[in-house]
Amino acid sequence: MKNRYLVGGPITPLLISELMTLGNDDNAAGAISIFIGKVRDDEVNGNRIEALDYSAYSEMAEKEADGIVKTVKAAFSDVRKVLLVHSTGMVKAGEVSLFIMVTSGHRDHATRACRHTLEMIKERLPVWKKEIF
């Protein structure tokens, strides 16, 4: 299965720019809500996190991500597009590991659907992380 929702390594500024262009081709969408998740340099037991090494059950993650997009579109009638991308592999502190973009006719569904997508990713996407110090 082709990976449409998972990308190896960090989500780069170039990829973010490409995704924003891809999602912004619809003149009936008056609102775009974007969430960008970054790796924090938390301190754990005196050690600073340098990176997170993400692993995924890719086949299931692609299926679940597809389901999340469909569920969000069904739940928010004004939503036009839902883009989501999650990293796998090594992502350094400060780099981006999650990108969500929701477009809709008006602001209310864009912001709420974006938040809802994020919560569903946390709940349904089979992804794990290992802290690298």
Partner 1 sequence: MATQVKVLYFGAAQQVAGKASEDFTAEDTASLREQILERYPAMRRVTFRLALNRNLLKEESLLKENDMIAILPPFEGG
Nearest to 58 by CA among 105, 6, 93: 6
CA distance 21 to 121: 23
Nearest-5° angle of CA 53, CA 3, CA 98? 45
| Nearest distance, CB of residue 25 and partner 1, angstroms | 26
Q: Locate tokens 């992380």: which residue?
A: 129
Interacting stretch for partner 1, rule CB under 8 A, among 11-19, 39-47, 74-82, 115-123? Answer: 115-123
Task: Please give the sequence-ordered ranges of beta strands (E in DSSP) within 14-115, or none if there are none.
Answer: 31-38, 43-44, 47-48, 51-56, 79-92, 96-104
94 is a contact residue toward partner 1 (CB under 8 A):
no
Task: State which residue, 15 or 118, has the beta carbon closest to partner 1.
Answer: 118
| Nearest distance, CB of residue 27 and partner 1, angstroms | 31
| Nearest distance, CB of residue 22 and partner 1, angstroms | 21
- Torsion angle defined by CA atoms of residues 121, 125, 130 and 133, in that order, rounded to the nearest 10 degrees: -20
Task: State which residue, 29 or 39, has the beta carbon closest to partner 1.
Answer: 39
Q: Write out the two tokens for 84.
A: 């989501």
Size of the site for partner 1 (CB under 8 A): 20
Enumerate residues 22-81 that contact partner 1 by CB under 8 A: 37, 54-57, 59-60, 63
| Nearest distance, CB of residue 98 and partner 1, angstroms | 6
17 is a contact residue toward partner 1 (CB under 8 A):
no
